[in-house]
Amino acid sequence: MGLKAIRLYQEDAEKFSSVYVTRQQVMVVGEKTVGKTSLCRTLKAKEPELASRDDRTIVLEETVLQELEAGVELRFTDFGGQRLYKVLHPIFLRINALVLVLFNLELYETNCEHYFKSVGFWLRKIQAKTPGVTIIPVGTKGDTVTEEKAEAKAKHVFDHAKNYVKIYRKNLENRLEEERKKLRTLLQTDPSGTRSGSDLLANIKKGIERLERMQGSILNVQKPVIISSKEFHGVDELKKRILQVAETKSCALPENWYQFAKLIAERAKKDDAMYMPYAEAKELWDQATPSKKSAPTMLESIKVLLTSPMHGKFNEEDCEKFETVLTFLHRWGAILWYVSPRLKDYIFHNPKKLTNFFKAVFDHDMETTLAAKRRRRGFPEYTDVKFEEEMSWFKKKGLLTKKLLQGILAADFQGVDLDTMFSLLQHFDLCYEVRYMEQPTLYFPWFLFQRLPDDVQQLWPKTMEPGVLQLTVEFHFITVVPPSFFERIQVLTHSKGPYKQLPRRDWSEGFYMSLGDVKVFVERFQYHNDGVLQVSVRGKDLGKLWEELKTMVTTMQGLLDQCPGEACNIYYICPGCIRSQVDSARAKKEEWTWMCTTRPDDDVAVSGRLVAGATSVPSIPCYDNAPVDEMIPACLQYPEMYNEDMYELVREYLSSPQIKQESSGECTNQEAANDQGSSLDPSSHHHHHHYHHYHHQHHHYNTTYCTHNNINNCQYVQVGNGNIMERVPEYLSEPPSDVEHWDLDTDPR
Ligand SMILES: Nc1nc2c(ncn2[C@@H]2O[C@H](COP(=O)(O)OP(=O)(O)OP(=O)(O)O)[C@@H](O)[C@H]2O)c(=O)[nH]1
Ligand SMILES: [Mg+2]
């Protein structure tokens, strides 16, 4: 991990005299007009200095505060709070940053919805991108409410934030325990790992390692501070708290490192370029590193910056040492530099210029900008009809062809390699490159404000046609689907093979596509405390359905590896239950990995559930103790069992009348168990969640969302193998508007 880097640092520190400069990055985030800019100005001026009412921050502003007494330089990044800018934070967030999450005491109401919108949202987002950073919630405009009210609101925020951290940690523990148990069982029953397939074993081990890493990097949420920038209340107290955090992270820089940072900064002032090529930066580094000097070491302090459980790796190549410095300076806040192959060669040393670029790309009103440019005879190589076509892709699908975007940027960013900049955007999931209609195109999910298109109901009707089968897999995440996870799936399917004119629909919470014989429907929604991503395929040919579903799931599993801060459970919903439109709470679920890696014969041995049904081919019950006529062919449940010979059997099953399952005794009991919040089915290794409708998107939100205002009202329910899920914490009571894009607020475009 970072050890090698530390040793290098030590050598350097011995050779050169150290310079003690503590620099603390402070990210100021929160809803629009909460008072971010006012706070930064007030801190700088050391007296009240409010922003005016129409002084909206575009993208971001930087404020530098030199606290000479403390020997600390504070660098505030004040982000614009409007929804489009919310996607930009990850670029500037570094693992050693301190984040101030501002909430408006004047408007804050002590309920879950308010909490989630103003604070909870940020915690989740930050935990997902940069786990383990320190957060101070800040209640603003304290002058507008009484002291008691302010205290009560701050307490509400703090209680919920602590609760979130607690639940997150608890869920991690439970998952870890579950995985360890799985591993133990597996090793006992099958020590060589041959029967279950070594993949399963390796996967479980990998999962355990990741969960252990995650345990080491959980957000540190501090007690809130109440301030008023207007009356200068609490501002000094806040500064004191910031300096305290900075102190714990103070570190000395070897002089040559510091010199290098200075040379880069001077360069940025002089040449106005957006980035510096690697080779040029290396030259500066050589300049900054003269022969010998000696200096004390400051090992402990710098460790903080060079190691972290989630981001501990350094590249060990020829230029290793130089890259260590770059990594360090990135975390320290002097430059932006990313180790990904496509970006490695660029050192972003000019934050201003970079910010301008983001301002141009993340244009609130890109549509108008494009149209205006066209009116001024922009895009001369386009015919009107072509221009309108590409504009409609932008409006309906969030797809912007590179040509159009280049047309917008070219004049202001001459000499900038736009392809590099586009890579940077993609590196941060701000957009994705896809080929659309043979055009290199960038997909900006953030520009896609479209709600569920009307015709999706016809394309994916609630009741399936006769002979059609639906297979469904669900990815359940702790609290929310990780940022950008859904968008990336959306993107990966954009480039799906030869289907040029793919009939597809995209909206902010889902997409539908037709791949010839197979139709695919993907949707993101909240289910109690889980963020769920649901993938369904429909068609008549089971072989093809399995193929598509497996491809989708494999793709998504691959993406999961890129979300180190997340754990997830994957479930397969019984297709028999779906077909007979069983109430979602009672649909049977199987763990996907188990299903795919277990041969059904083993499963017979393990669970005894595989029985010969009415036909000569193995059938399995739709739910425990189901009568024979509610059996489904086992190949609907186990992909491994499907082969050509099953074709007729499945056809026969699909032509049988659909049984609408009425409440059977067993299921009712389960529901009762749900209501009491007790364990659902502890004896089984299969998780039976209480469940909501999956048949149609509109019903996802019919379930009981949080209506409790008091944290003490939040209940807990035990699901499956002791997986504690909090039933009612900080969720939104009316998801459609707020869950829309989970990181967008609801102001109109
Ligand atoms: N009463 C009162 N008003 C404040 C205070 N701080 C800010 N305001 C007012 O709130 C409004 C918004 O303040 P800003 O600082 O611009 O808010 P912001 O969070 O930077 O907003 P965006 O840049 O759009 O995200 C302005 O009209 C400020 O005058 C405060 O402490 N007390
Ligand atoms: Mg502002």
3-state SS of 266-298 is HHHHHHCCCCEEHHHHHHHHHHHCCCCCCCCCC
Q: Whose CA is nearest to atom 26 of ligand 1?
A: 53
pLDDT at 169: 85
Give me ligand 2 centre to Cα 513, in Å. 40
By alpha-carbon position, which residue is closest to atom 12 of ligand 1?
A: 33
Which pLDDT value is given to residue 7? 61
For residues 689 and 641, the model is more confident at 641
Distance between Cα 43 and ligand 1 center (Å): 14
**Dihedral angle of Cα 591, 594, 596, 600, to the nearest 10 degrees:** -110
In sequence order, what DSSP letters do the residues of 559-594 get, joined into one string?
HHTT-TT--EEEEEE-HHHHHTT--GGG--EEEHHH
Give 96's Cβ-side CA count (13 Å radius).
29
What are the residues whose beta carbons fall under 8 Å from the beta carbon of 172, sequence distance 6 or more?
211, 214, 215, 218, 478, 567
DSSP 8-state code for residue 25 = E
Least distant ligand from the CA of 81: 1
pTM higher than the cut 0.85: no
DSSP run (H or E) holding 390: helix 384-397
Determine the Cα–Cα distance for residues 682 and 690; give it in Å rounded to an integer. 14
Q: Which one of 22-26, 43-47, 354-358 scores highest in mean pLDDT?
A: 43-47
pLDDT at site 256: 78
- Residue-wise pLDDT for 389-438, tens only, equals 999 888 887 889 999 999 999 888 888 889 889 988 888 778 888 777 77
Expressed in angstroms and rounded, the spacing between residue 94 Cα and the centre of ligand 1 is 26
Ramachandran angles phi, psi of 522, nearest 5°: -125, 135
Average pLDDT over residues 108-119: 88
692 in Cβ contact with 653 (< 8 Å): no
What pLDDT score was predicted for residue 714?
29
Comparing 156-160, 209-213, 319-323, 697-701, which segment has the lowest mean pLDDT? Answer: 697-701
Mean pLDDT over 196-214 rounds to 78
223 CA from centroid of ligand 2 (Å): 24
Q: Give the orientation angle of helix 147-189 with respect to helix 198-215, to 10 degrees.
A: 150
Q: What is the pLDDT at residue 708?
A: 24
Distance CA 225, CA 139 (A): 6
- In this structure, of 215-229, 230-244, 531-545, 588-602, the range with the lowest mean pLDDT score is 588-602
Buried b (16+ CB within 10 A) or exposed e, 141-167: bbbebeeeebbebbebbbebbebbbeb
Atom of ligand 1 nearest to the CA of 85: 25
Cα separation of 640 and 196, whole Å? 13
545 vs 550: CA distance, rounded Å? 8
Read off the DSSP letter of residue 217. Answer: -
CB 449 within 8 A of CB 749: yes
The residue whose CA has the least distance to atom 3 of ligand 1 is: 141
Mean pLDDT of 250-265: 80
DSSP 36-83: HHHHHHHHHHTS--PPPTT-PPPSEEEEEEEETTTTEEEEEEEE--SG
742 has pLDDT over 50: no
Which SS3 state, helix, strand or coil, does residue 439 take?
A: strand
Q: Is the pLDDT of residue 699 over 50?
A: no
Q: 596 versus 198: which is more confidently predicted?
A: 596
Q: Of all atoms in ligand 1, which is nearest to the CA of residue 34?
A: 19
Q: Which residues contact 247 (CB under 8 A, 6 or more apart)?
A: 22, 70, 72
> What is the spatial distance between Cα 738 and Cα 512, in angstroms, rounded to a whole number?
22
Ligand 1 centre and the CA of 33: distance in Å?
5
Q: For residues 166 and 175, give the distance between their C-alpha atoms in angstroms, rounded to a whole number.
A: 14
293 CA to centre of ligand 2 in angstroms: 45
pLDDT at 532 over 60: yes
Q: In testing the pocket of ligand 1, which one of 54, 55, 226 has its CB within 8 Å of the most ligand atoms?
A: 55
For 650-674, how does the pLDDT look when each residue is reduced to its tens digit (9 = 90+)? 888 888 776 555 444 333 333 333 3
pLDDT of 319 higher than 80: no
Distance CA 179, CA 208 (A): 6
| Segment of 228-242, 411-425, 479-493, 586-600 carrying the highest mean pLDDT | 228-242
Name the least confident of 59-63, 199-203, 598-602.
598-602
Q: How far is the CA of 80 from the centre of ligand 2 (A)?
A: 5
Ligand nearest to the CA of 41: 1
Helix, strand, or coil here: 225?
A: strand
Domains and CATH numbers, the chain: 21-251 (3.40.50.300), 365-447 (1.10.10), 455-655 (3.30.310.200)
What backbone phi and psi angles, to 5 degrees, belong to 515? -110, 60
- How far is ligand 2, taken at its centre, from the CA of residue 53, in Å? 10
pLDDT band at 253 (very low <50, low <70, confident <90, very high): confident
Amino acid present at 740:
E
Atom in ligand 1 nearest the alpha carbon of residue 78: 20
Instruction: List, in sequence order, every residue forming a beta bridge with 25; answer none if it has no partner.
Output: 75
302 against 296, higher pLDDT: 302
Look at residue 709 and give its three-state secondary structure.
Answer: coil
Atom number, ligand 1, closest to the C-alpha of residue 144: 1
> Does 155 have pLDDT greater than 60?
yes
CA–centroid distance, 80 to ligand 1, in Å, is 11
Q: Which of 96-105, 129-138, 267-276, 662-671 has the lowest mean pLDDT?
A: 662-671
Number of Cα atoms under 13 Å in the Cβ half of residue 631: 21
Mutation test residue for ligand 1: of 28, 29, 37, 38, the one with most atoms within 8 Å of CB: 38
Distance CA 673, CA 670 (A): 5
Q: Measuring from atom 1 of ligand 1, which residue has the nearest CA?
A: 141
For a mutational test of ligand 1's pocket, the pick from 28, 29, 32, 33, i.e. the residue with the most ligand atoms closer than 8 A to its C-beta, is 33
Ligand 1: residues within 6 Å at CB?
32-38, 50-51, 53, 55-57, 80-82, 140-141, 143-144, 228-230
pLDDT at 324: 78
Please give the Cα distance from 717 to 677 (Å, whole number): 5
CA of 81 to the centre of ligand 2 (A): 7
- pLDDT on residue 23: 80
Q: What does the alpha-carbon distance between residue 481 and residue 534 come to, in Å, rounded to a whole number?
A: 11
Residues in the chain: 749
Q: What is the DSSP track for 500-511?
A: TT--EEEETTEE
Q: Are strands 225-226 and 220-221 parallel, antiparallel or unpaired?
A: unpaired
Q: Give phi and psi for 611, each to the nearest 5.
A: -130, 155
Ligand nearest to the CA of 54: 1
Nearest to 245 by CA among 150, 165, 135, 390: 135
Mean pLDDT of the chain: 75
Pairing of strands 504-507, 510-515: antiparallel
Asked whether the beta carbons of 272 and 33 are under 8 A apart, the reply is no
Best mutation site among 31, 37, 227 for ligand 1 pocket (most ligand atoms within 8 Å of CB):
37
- Give residue 105's identity as a one-letter amino acid code: L
Q: Is 716 helix (H, G, I), strand (E, B) or coil?
A: strand
* Residue nearest atom 32 of ligand 1, based on CA coordinates: 141
Q: What is the pLDDT of residue 629?
A: 65
- Residue 228 CA: nearest ligand 1 atom is 31
Looking at all shown ligands, the one closest to residue 83's CA atom is: 1
Measured in angstroms, how far is the CA atom of residue 36 from the centroid of ligand 1? 6
Q: How confident is the model at residue 491 (pLDDT cuts 50, 70, 90)?
A: confident
The first and second tokens of residue 282, run together, are 């290396």
CA angle 77, 81, 82 (to 5 degrees): 135
Q: Give me the pLDDT at residue 464, please.
A: 87
Range in 25-29, 259-263, 277-281, 304-308 the model is least confident about = 304-308
In terms of average pLDDT, the best of 64-73, 238-247, 328-337, 445-454 is 238-247
For residue 30, give the ligand 1 atom closest to its CA: 19
**Ligand 1 closest atom vs CA 40:** 15
Task: Please report which ligand is nearest the Cα atom of 50.
Answer: 1
- Look up residue 288 and give its two tokens: 């900054």
Q: What is the pLDDT of residue 426?
A: 84
Q: Ligand nearest 33 Cα, by number?
A: 1
Q: Are 659 and 580 in contact (CB under 8 A)?
A: yes
Highest mean pLDDT among 141-150, 251-260, 388-397 belongs to: 141-150
- Residue 12: the pLDDT is 63
The dihedral through the CA atoms of 142, 144, 147, 148 has a sign that is negative
CA of 61 to the centre of ligand 1 (A): 14
Tell me, in angstroms, the distance from the centre of ligand 2 to residue 623's CA.
56
> With pLDDT > 90 as the criterion, what percentage of the chain qualifies?
24
* Residue 510: φ, ψ to 5°: -175, 175
Which amino acid residue places its CA nearest to atom 4 of ligand 1? 141
User: Which atom of ligand 1 sits closest to the CA of residue 42?
Assistant: 6
Give the Å distance between the CA of 82 and the centre of ligand 1: 13
Ligand nearest to the CA of 32: 1
**Residue-level pLDDT at 21:** 66
How sure is the predictor about 292, in pLDDT bands with cuts at 50, 70 and 90? very low
Ligand 1: atom nearest CA of 31 is: 25
CA of 115 to the centre of ligand 1 (A): 19
Q: What is the pLDDT of residue 48?
A: 95
The encoded tokens of residue 674 equal 């749900």
